[in-house]
Structure 1
Amino acid sequence: MPARKIVPNYQTKFERLELKYLVNEQEANFIRRDIQKYCKPDRYNAQNRSHSNADYGYPISSCYLDSPGMAFHKAKERGDPNRIKLRIRTYSPTSLASLEIKRRASSIIYKTRVAIDRQQTENAARGLPVIGGPGGVDSLSVLSDFALVAGKSGAEPALTVQYDREAFESTVDRYARVTFDRKIRVQVARDWMLTPKKGAWNNFNDYWATQRSDTPVVLELKCETTPPLWMVDLIQRHQLALSSFSKYSIGVALCQQNYGLGNFLGRRSLKAMEKQ
């Protein structure tokens, strides 16, 4: 079956709260049940669900950009309250590429994004003309901002993160989402082509094995700056413990571990290790 060409249901700017938790599959089932009054599956969720929860949802691929010294990763590791991430997100081998900037200011996330042809990502990041680029003032502003941040930091592809997402959106709020992420895997990003190398994945199961006795589901609650009451009730009812989990930063550490690196060597050294 050919891959669908998915175009994101597009909003270019967000100001939101993102709350992350690690839960087991049984807890995920209970949470899914409890949100049914307030949420519906988003339009990209798999239409034909199997009996296994692990097969729910749709694949997401995010290529994270970083500076030569991995400044964005290090800011997360230090716990800087104000930090930034650059990434290129795709939803299938034929989808558009979403160029995204996530700025964190304390607990609030300011996210901007713009969709372009996936073949144009390097031009966009370098501030060069984008063939068939987006129209509209907001989209052009985001494109310009992405190029500015990438240019100042010298950011290039650093790490590709893939996972399966089961997502729900609120039917009673202007904006609220609940997502469950599974099957997380990472690899060093080789270039701007957004085509990961087959057989080069580092599975997060290796990381979970050092931390827990199970393989958790990553639960995210996303909303405007104040959580709706049903979300507060959900957190309290299931006694959810907030996590600082980062797919990107843990993925960097996992690649280092699997390549036998004892100390942080920087993005270009990671790429060199992959070629050995």
Structure 2
Amino acid sequence: MVGVNKSRTAAADFSTELDRFEAKYIIPRQLVEPIKAFIRPYCTMDKHCAAAGGQYFINTLQMDNEALSLHYAKEWEAAHRFKLRVRTYGKPPGQAPVFLEIKRKYFERVIKSRACIPFDEWKPGILKKHADELNLKSVKEREAFREFVRLAEEIDARPLVYVRYCREAFTGIFDHYARITFDSQLCYQPVFDMYNWGGDGRFISMDSGLVRHRRESSLVLEVKCTEQVPTWMVELVQEFDLIRCGNCKYSTAIWMENLLIGKGEAPFSDQFMYD
């Protein structure tokens, strides 16, 4: 899932649609190495992560409307909801492609569709173009682009925040689709220019125990798979007594920004449930 070539190359995962289940856990940093040891017989480091030196940065432009409809759909646990986000990889970004993504959630299922655009084409006016004007690889990508634009116009979405974090990723050796990721160095920045990826502003850390009402600075562990959950994933959760919790990075950024400007309170640990 990381692109590092100056064109649309094999260094990026260009799958345009994925139907999966995922669960998130907030874990203390001292559990990272024991968990890595536990999954070693079943997983290998993601090839893009390995190519990037063991970890990579994810940069996401989150879009929503003035009423924060997508944020509150998550807050109110709407059974059917979606996010609109624009994503690229690396720090600083500039080589990886830009992905326009729709991430839908239907109860426990997560369905993600996306269209891939070369980085140097991410510039003003791109969302006004017709899908046929872009060098999209497939019918599904063209459909994903049209749907992204349709939804953005339908809810009057605009860019709100950049979210950036560092990811270590591992993939299952024997499974059709199984993925373990560790996310750290979470931070955000209110959007001032939706095309410069936060280069002119200061990022605000979300990687703090204060955000989650915890003593330590913790990490986000994500477990992702298809409907058939591998046995080793079940054993992983049991072995480390992991407690599933919600951790929407976009919503956390909204909570923190509201706190900083005096508009509300962030939920704490007892409210971080079942994202």
TM-score by length of 1: 0.85
What is the DSSP-based 3-state SS (H/G/I as helix, E as strand, rest coil) of the residue aligned with 2:147?
A: helix
Distance 2:129 2:254 in 1: 27
**Equivalence for 2:106:** 105
The offset of 1:125, in angstroms, is 3.3
Distance 1:253 1:197 in 2: 22
Distance 2:193 2:132 in 1: 18
- Larger helix share, 1 or 2: 1
For residues 23-74 of structure 1, the C-alpha deviation after alignment (integer angstroms, 9 at most, x for no partner) is 112211111111111111012225686xxxxxx5111101111112111011
Distance 1:210 1:237 in 2: 23
Identify the match of residue 225 of structure 2 among 223, 226, 239.
223
Indicate if the aligned counterparts of 2:179 and 2:225 stay in contact, CA closer than 8 A. Answer: yes
Q: Counterparts in 2 of 1:16-31, with a 5 A limit?
A: 16-31=20-35
What is the DSSP-based 3-state SS (H/G/I as helix, E as strand, rest coil) of the residue aligned with 2:100?
A: strand
**Equivalence for 2:238:** 236
TM-score by length of 2: 0.85
- CA separation of 1:141/1:186 partners in 2, compared to 1, >3 Å: closer, same or farther? same
Matched, 1:254 2:256: yes
The offset of 1:169, in angstroms, is 0.7
**Equivalence for 1:64:** 62
Indicate if the aligned counterparts of 2:209 and 2:218 stay in contact, CA closer than 8 A. Answer: no
- CA separation of 1:210/1:111 partners in 2, compared to 1, >3 Å: closer, same or farther? closer
**Equivalence for 1:269:** none
For residues 217-273 of structure 1, the C-alpha deviation after alignment (integer angstroms, 9 at most, x for no partner) is 100000002311111111111111001111100111112222x22249xxxxxxxxx
Amino acid at match of 2:108: S
The offset of 1:144, in angstroms, is 1.2
Identify the match of residue 41 of structure 1 among 45, 50, 56.
45
Amino acid at match of 2:34: F
**Equivalence for 1:271:** none
- CA separation of 1:41/1:121 partners in 2, compared to 1, >3 Å: closer, same or farther? farther
Tell me whether 176-185 or 194-203 shows the greater mean CA deviation: 194-203
- CA separation of 1:129/1:223 partners in 2, compared to 1, >3 Å: closer, same or farther? closer
Amino acid at match of 1:249: S
Indicate if the aligned counterparts of 1:87 and 1:99 stay in contact, CA closer than 8 A. Answer: yes
Amino acid at match of 2:216: D
Matched, 1:13 2:14: no
What is the DSSP-based 3-state SS (H/G/I as helix, E as strand, rest coil) of the residue aligned with 2:33?
A: helix
Distance 1:246 1:232 in 2: 23
Structure 1: gaps of 5 or more residues: 50-55, 265-276
- CA separation of 1:213/1:105 partners in 2, compared to 1, >3 Å: closer, same or farther? same
Distance 1:145 1:10 in 2: 18
Identity percentage over the alignment? Answer: 29
Identify the match of residue 212 of structure 1 among 211, 214, 219.
214
What is the DSSP-based 3-state SS (H/G/I as helix, E as strand, rest coil) of the residue aligned with 1:250?
A: helix
Q: Counterparts in 2 of 1:85-164, with a 5 A limit?
A: 85-92=83-90, 93=93, 94-118=95-119, 119-120=121-122, 123-126=125-128, 128=130, 131-164=133-166
C-alpha RMSD of the superposition: 2.2
Distance 1:162 1:180 in 2: 14
Equivalent residue pairs, number: 255
- CA separation of 1:48/1:83 partners in 2, compared to 1, >3 Å: closer, same or farther? closer
**Equivalence for 1:202:** 204
For residues 130-184 of structure 1, the C-alpha deviation after alignment (integer angstroms, 9 at most, x for no partner) is 7542032111111111111111111121111000000001111111100000000
Indicate if the aligned counterparts of 2:169 and 2:180 stay in contact, CA closer than 8 A. Answer: yes
What is the DSSP-based 3-state SS (H/G/I as helix, E as strand, rest coil) of the residue aligned with 2:47?
A: coil
**Equivalence for 1:73:** 71
**Equivalence for 2:36:** 32
Amino acid at match of 1:220: E
